């Protein structure tokens, strides 16, 4: 087993890695900042984009899809009550930004 301790800058970030050569070091990494241990989580929402521990975007895409389904459903129900220009404005105000936000990050993923 190898043990590596790294201190970074004034924040005294300590990363302890205890692993065999054959094991993945990601599964045994602990992170400590100012004597507080940072727990590993499966996914995290940061600036509106959901990032998971394997950098797969399926969780984020599913959440965007659910949000868009709700908005499209509302537009579908009011489509005959409002003129087309108004529906278009609602689309560009609520639906379009949800599609575009973060698209540069996860757009080319499978």
What pLDDT was estimated at residue 90? 92
Mean pLDDT throughout 9-37? 56
As a whole number of angstroms, the distance between CA 8 and CA 78 comes to 55
46-97: per-residue pLDDT in tens? 888 888 888 888 888 899 899 999 999 999 999 999 999 999 999 999 999 9
Cβ-contact 48, 38 below 8 angstroms: no
Domains of the chain, by residue range, sit at 2-38, 43-106
What pLDDT was estimated at residue 89? 95
Q: Please tell me whether the overall predicted TM-score, pTM, comes out greater than 0.95 for this model.
A: no
**Alpha carbons within 13 A on the beta-carbon side of 80:** 1
């Amino acid at each position: 087993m190898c043990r590596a301790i790294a201190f970074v800058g004034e924040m005294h970030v300590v990363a302890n890695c205890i692993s065999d050569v054959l094991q993945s070091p990601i599964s045994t990494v602990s992170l400590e900042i100012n004597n507080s241990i940072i727990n590993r989580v499966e996914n995290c929402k940061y600036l509106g984009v959901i990032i998971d521990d394997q950098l797969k975007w399926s969780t984020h895409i599913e959440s965007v899809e659910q949000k868009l389904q709700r908005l499209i459903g509302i537009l579908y129900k009011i489509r005959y009550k409002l003129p087309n220009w108004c529906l278009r404005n609602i689309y560009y105000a609520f639906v379009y930004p949800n599609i575009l936000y973060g698209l540069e990050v996860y757009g080319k993923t499978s």
